[in-house]
Amino acid sequence: MSCRTEFTCPICGYEGPFVDLHPETGLRRHARCPRCGSLERHRLQFMVLERLAKTHDFSSMSMVHVAPELFFEPSFRRRFVRYETADLTKRTVDLRADLRCLPFMDQSYDFVFASHVLEHIKEDGLALSEISRVLRPGGIAILHVPILADKTVEYPKPNPHESGHVRAPGADYYDRYQPYFERVDRFDSHGFPAEHQLFIYEDRTKWPTSMPRRPTTPGERHTAIVPVCWK
């Protein structure tokens, strides 16, 4: 359990308590920044980008941001020489796009960012192949999914109680990325300052009956893992 009660958001600079959430799965402590709305995964992703920025000149790179989070957009637009947003259904994005069949030429982008998208796509191999196709040599993709257990569990159909997830990704899920990229590095909550609150505090020993295939895991402090995929 966390003994801290105040944190710093690396995205917006807020300092103070983070907001507890009460989703269908139960209490999730210290989850949301009250100023920008970022969650644990977003803060971890931002810290990974900050680390990558030390060795890569984003100002000469192009990014496509799939299912874009609004609080990331100002920073991404400043960092990248060309920044575009894409989504299958949202009308506020620059481009309408399905990850399984992207309407882009080969080697169109230097960076693809898609957080919590692949757990909604049954044909995730097609999506990974398309992401690899549109990346330039030396390009980067951040393709984060929620890691819920050790082993991935596939669902027979999308679960509306899990925002339409078609699987519960496990720690082994990122192994699926290996055939599509030269290298996949994994960054986790332990590798960055605790003041940013990058862990997920929730009881995973039981889930609601509406989530019958979601695997249980012990403990109330769980590590998030962000994969950085290199073309």
When pLDDT is averaged across residues 166-170 and rounded to a whole number, the result is 98
- Distance linking the first and last C-alpha atoms of the chain: 38
Residues 96-137: tens digit of each pLDDT: 999 999 999 999 999 999 999 999 999 999 999 999 999 999
Do β-strands 7-8 and 19-21 pair in parallel, antiparallel, or remain unpaired?
A: unpaired
Confidence of residue 5 (pLDDT cuts 50, 70, 90): confident
Q: Mean pLDDT for the chain?
A: 96
pTM of the model: 0.95
Residue 212: left (phi > 0), alpha (psi -120 to 50), or beta? alpha
- At 180-222, the pLDDT tens digits run 999 999 999 999 999 999 999 999 999 999 999 999 999 999 9
Predicted confidence at residue 211, as pLDDT, reads 98
- In the chain the domains, ranked by start, together with CATH numbers, are 7-230 (3.40.50.150)
pLDDT of residue 160: 97
- Calculate mean pLDDT across residues 33-44: 98
Q: According to the model, what pLDDT value does residue 2 have?
A: 59
210: left (phi over 0), alpha (psi -120 to 50) or beta: alpha
Query: DSSP string covering 86-138, please?
Result: EESS-SSSSEE-BTTB--S-TT-EEEEEE-S-GGG-S-HHHHHHHHHHHEEEE
> CA 42 to CA 37: how far, in whole Å?
9
Give the distance from CA 29 to its chain's centroid: 19
